A and B are shown apart, each in its own frame.
Chain A
Amino acid sequence: MESSVTKTARRKSPALAVFDFLASLKLATVLLLLLFVLTWLATLEQTVNGLRPMMLKYFNWKELFFFPEIGRPFNNTGEEQKVTVFFPMISGFWLCALFTLNLTLGGLVRIRKTARVVPVIVSHFSIVFLMVAAGVTHFMEERGALMVYEGETSNVAQDYHEQVIEVSEFANGAVSKVHLIEGKPLTSLKPDETRIFKMANLPFDLKVSNFIENAQPMPAMMQPPTQGQEVVDRFWLRDSGPMKETELHQAGCFVEVLSKEGQPVGEKIILASRSNYPATVSYEGRPYLINLRKKLWVLPFAVQLDEFRVERDPGTNRPATFESDVTRLDGGTREEVHIKMNEPMRREGYTFFQTNWGPQDEENPDRYYSVLEVVKNPADHWPLASLIVVMAGLCWQFGASLFRFMSKSKKEATS
């Protein structure tokens, strides 16, 4: 009998062996352990490198592993000291993908389908669903901030991170069309790298150099370059280095306008997100504006801020509640909506959350502005569905176990 089992095992096809491995409980345990370590390191690393840099590093699908950095423990002085952990941690992206695969194969496909295991299957299913929701959010979520003053209307949200180059065309004294160089090709530029961007719908191309993600333009006359940096239009770009809160980054770069034949036209231009004004160039007698800024995305409807209110706790400057009365303008339709903390506006796949306001340094300003965080996430409500299912599954499973435990204990006590 034993030998026949061994032979059967030996005869297992490679595909089945791979399936067995991917669906195994042992792999599940190891993956859960690795996810535990990943979460722990992610918690420690964000204190020294910031949240977004940590996330980009830990969930980078292009790399299989990385070396974590954490703050030094047992540090009596409290000074922040970065320590590299020489342990090749598997990328969170691949870990989550493998975990979802393991859970699907082992916890849904291969698991014995008996009545007692039904709640376990239900719980596993809800977690797979949650992981899928996380994946959808990771790849498809859009997030930005819409800032609007009382009495004004806006239909654009500004991205928190992505910095782009905008080239605006003019017609009849107003901006008629905007052309974009997206953020990814810009941020992939190394400091000493130059890249030519072919602008398909413009009569010229742009050559971008010296792109710095967090740059401060410095007046060369007052503060000369410290390391021989290039001076353009009497300014040079100081690299301010990465910040923990990357949404505060303000990029800078140099741009040259090139003819379609690749010949430079005019002087090199300095662009900086910190600057409030775009650069103006003229090509073949037509004016263009070139601007480096956080990306704006246009919403399918506009929001008008009718009134903003903030109520503070008595005797303090701490806001007890802040809320916006807005009118949603969608073509000819008008809809009045009240937005406050914990009560967002959800319309057409977009959710508007009350997130900030200003000016905050004045007690009774003439006019408030409200900042609404705008999020578009197809998996918006999926976690709630997952919660309901997992709660049902776990309560069923552990409730039954508790009942069995109590019955057994009672029997033992009686005997």
Chain B
Amino acid sequence: MKTSIGRWIAFALAGIFLLGLFVYGVRGLSPQKTGLVIDEYEEWSDEVLAAAREIPVQEGGRVKPLDTQAHYAMLKLRGDRKIKIENGQGEKVVITPMALMLDMLFRPEIAHRLPVFRVENSEILEAVGLEFPDRGKRDRYSFDELKEKMSAFMERAGDFQARKQRRETLSPVEEQTISLASNLRDYYYLTHYLDFARNKVELSVVEGEGKKVPMSVVMAVKEMIAEAIRESQQNGEELPTHVQDFLAQIQQATMNSSFGLHPFPPYARDEKEWSSAGELLQGTITGQITEVGKAIEDVKSLETLVAAAGGGDFAKELKAFGERTSARASEGEMRPLRWELSYQKAGWIKNALYCFGFGTLAALFSLLAPKTKASSILRLTVWILTSAGLLLFFAAIVHRYLVVLRPPVTTLYETIPFITACSVAVALFVEGITRRGLALGVAPVLGLGGAVLALVFEVSNATDSLDPLVAVLRSNFWLTTHVLTITFGYAAGLLAAAFSAVYILCRLLGLDRESPDLRRTLTRISYGVVCFALLLSMVGTILGGIWANYSWGRFWGWDPKENGALMIVLWTLVILHGRFAGLLREWGIHLATVFLAIVVTFSWFHVNMLGTGLHSYGFMEGKNKIFFFYGAISALMLTGFIGSLVLDRKPRKKSETDDLSPAKPQEA
């Protein structure tokens, strides 16, 4: 095959890869089209959204911006970050997580019509007698469509939960029923949170006559109410119906606003737990809160917000609410919040995606015109854009560290930016040494893949990755040493596989003919990075064992994650020893190194999906994508293997043999 044709094929293949990545990213991040029209839907203004975003709330064990809670609430309920609808004027409206949160809190009647709930399998609905012929097996539904059977969902989910507690294995549909019931409950509490402010309390002096008063007023006169009830009870009289109704209203309001949102910092400095409106109500009425005046002011501030949302300066009131609660929060709580807001604003990963994307395109076009001035300019562009992307990734890692002040790799999500940054950095380092343009071509592609994966994973995982860690992981020394080493090992393994993939493609497309030492260089680079992967994986694995030994008394427990790391160590050792034993020569080393990508992916991602009884649809979806990846790598290996048989069927000249492969098997 002519080299120029090979280049065009390589260009086309890279183009297909990029297109695939683009489709994967777009499919993972784009909202489902709804075709829904809500005539009276009015968009929240930018000022309102900006003011709401910065309101501090406590959730998941830490204080965070309301924007973060809204973001993950929407991901958990709906599985994406946007809802597209049409308003009465025929305008397209994009509902963001913050807008949805405001709808749920302040306009529940509109929120009820939005397709907020992702149902993984229509069997869940059919089991309670709900059928929607116009919907797919996996689709999205509004609260109005599901509310009729809400109690049936809860009942079934309760049964399944009880079975789960008895350690029975549940089917995926049963697990998904529990998940849907949990989402319905969360949604219910958010949409009813401010009912007390919307509906007020009907206060009757005598039966039949009454007027509606704000809850804050009721709280203020709670002593009088309590006294009246005490007197009534002392006289042995039954409470009048209107008084019973009144108490029931308070009880209902307390229940509805106890969960969902905790925006009020504690009144005492030494306390850490923030309160919801319901907790303030209950604490005031039961006398558990001593600072009644402050509690009343807090509840009143929510009533003011509700009033403003219905026709006032809502943005101003939201800002005032946020400033008021922020002033009461401690500096230790507000410092991370400010860092988190700036982290969200920065959009490091998204910007890095653009840099790597354009870097990849520049690398792609430089392939078509090698050794020309244009190619030199394009290579410089790749250097600049890839370095910029790398810096943005490192900025994201450091910025996240500043939010939570713990080692930067503690969750599966955080491994993605770290592994991407490490592999790009090592690729650029290798390019700095070799100056062949090979590693430079690989670097932006890895960066682009990592950036897309990070963005898509965040959506599909729907879990706040900045929340506090479980007790056993709270060891900065071990987290820093073990986790960073092992994930750096993953990065090295993937990078080595990428270089070997380049080798296979170059050989198959005849791109190695113009440059006689290209193959040798690629083999040396790939093999060197395999050695680096071995060093990091072995040290990381043993460090993990020592951590386990010192934390819970066992060096090795055959945990899937441990096994995955050991598999990387063993496979790299197979490559090293196979080469020394003369079992693997040039092609063999590269085919085995490409397989390392499967081993690393299994260890990095797949073992997290092996837990039985933990399947959800998103989970299975990811699992299937992993099989596609395995298939693609296997196809490349098979093609390479066939290529090796065809290309090397004639005895090669001595000068073409790889200087890395020993002439004969060596002894250890």
Contacts and interface: CB of A to CB of B under 8 A. Distances in A.
A14 interface: no
A342 B478 contact: yes
B552 A373 contact: yes
A155 interface: no
Contacts of B171: 77-79
B524 A35 contact: no
Q: Which of A40, A76, A313, A391 lies at the interface centre, i.e. has the most chain B CB atoms within 10 A of its CB? A: A313
Interface string A34-63: 011001101110111001001100000000
Contacts of A280: none
A409 interface: yes
A394 B667 contact: no
Contacts of A23: 667-668
B395 interface: no
A29 B567 contact: no
B474 A320 contact: yes
Contact of A43 (B524, B563, B581): B563
A227 interface: no
Which DSSP category, helix, strand, loop or mixed, fits chain A's interface?
A: helix
Contacts of A353: 551-553
A25 B550 contact: no
B132 interface: no
Contact of A387 (B272, B474, B539): B539
Nearest to B620: A78
Given A39-B566, A43-B564, A375-B554, A395 B668 contact: no
B507 interface: no
Contacts of B543: 387
Contacts of B566: 39
A133 B538 contact: no
B551 A28 contact: no
A134 B531 contact: no
Contact of A44 (B472, B573, B610): B610
A106 B560 CA distance: 30
B172 A342 contact: no
Contact of A32 (B539, B574, B624): B574
Contact of B571 (A28, A36, A342): A36
A188 to B, nearest CB: 24
Given A51-B557, A373-B553, A316 B535 contact: no
Interface string A241-265: 0011100100000000000000000
B571 A383 contact: no
Nearest to B524: A405
B317 interface: no
A405 B560 contact: no
Interface residues of A, number: 79
Contacts of A387: 539, 542-543, 546
A245 B167 contact: yes
B376 interface: no
A32 B577 contact: yes
A112 B667 contact: yes
B611 A47 contact: yes
B627 interface: yes
Nearest to A106: B668
Nearest to A381: B549
Nearest to A109: B668
B273 A314 contact: yes
B307 to A, nearest CB: 28
Contact of B555 (A42, A110, A137, A405): A137
B62 interface: yes
A151 interface: no
Contacts of B58: 314-315
Which DSSP category, helix, strand, loop or mixed, fits chain B's interface?
A: helix
Interface in B400-419: none
A124 B3 CA distance: 45
B241 interface: no
Contact of A342 (B475, B545, B560, B578): B475
A275 B558 CA distance: 32
A318 B469 CA distance: 9
Interface string B610-624: 111001000110001
Contacts of B581: 24-26, 28-29
A355 interface: yes
Given A26-B665, A341-B472, A401 B531 contact: yes
Contacts of B668: 23-25, 28, 106-107, 110-111
Contacts of A395: 535
B169 A80 contact: yes
B629 interface: no
B292 to A, nearest CB: 22
Contacts of A322: 471
Interface in B45-102: 58-62
B500 to A, nearest CB: 17
Nearest to A317: B61
B612 A48 contact: yes
A25 B665 CA distance: 8
Contacts of B273: 314-315
Interface string A387-415: 10011001100100110011001100100
Contact of A394 (B59, B534, B546): B534
A391 B540 CA distance: 10
B620 A76 contact: yes
Contacts of A245: 167
Contacts of B551: 341-342, 344, 353
Contacts of B531: 398, 401
B347 to A, nearest CB: 28
B94 to A, nearest CB: 31
Contacts of A134: 555-556
Contact of B274 (A29, A48, A315, A319): A315
Interface string A127-145: 0001001100100000100
Given A36-B567, A112-B667, A402 B553 contact: no
Interface string A66-100: 00000101101111100000000000000000000
Given A39-B566, A43-B564, A243-B167, 11 more contacts: A25-B580, A25-B581, A46-B558, A244-B612, A314-B61, A315-B59, A318-B61, A344-B553, A375-B554, A395-B535, A398-B532
29 contacts: A24-B581, A25-B577, A25-B580, A26-B665, A29-B578, A32-B577, A36-B571, A43-B558, A43-B560, A43-B563, A55-B558, A76-B620, A77-B172, A111-B668, A134-B556, A314-B58, A314-B62, A318-B470, A320-B61, A321-B474, A341-B472, A342-B475, A342-B551, A353-B553, A355-B552, A384-B549, A390-B538, A401-B531, A413-B434
Interface of B: 58-62, 167, 169, 171-172, 262, 272-274, 433-435, 468, 470-472, 474-475, 478, 524, 528, 531-532, 534-535, 538-539, 542-543, 545-546, 549-558, 560, 563-564, 566-567, 570-571, 573-574, 577-578, 580-581, 583, 602, 607, 610-612, 615, 619-620, 624, 627, 665-668
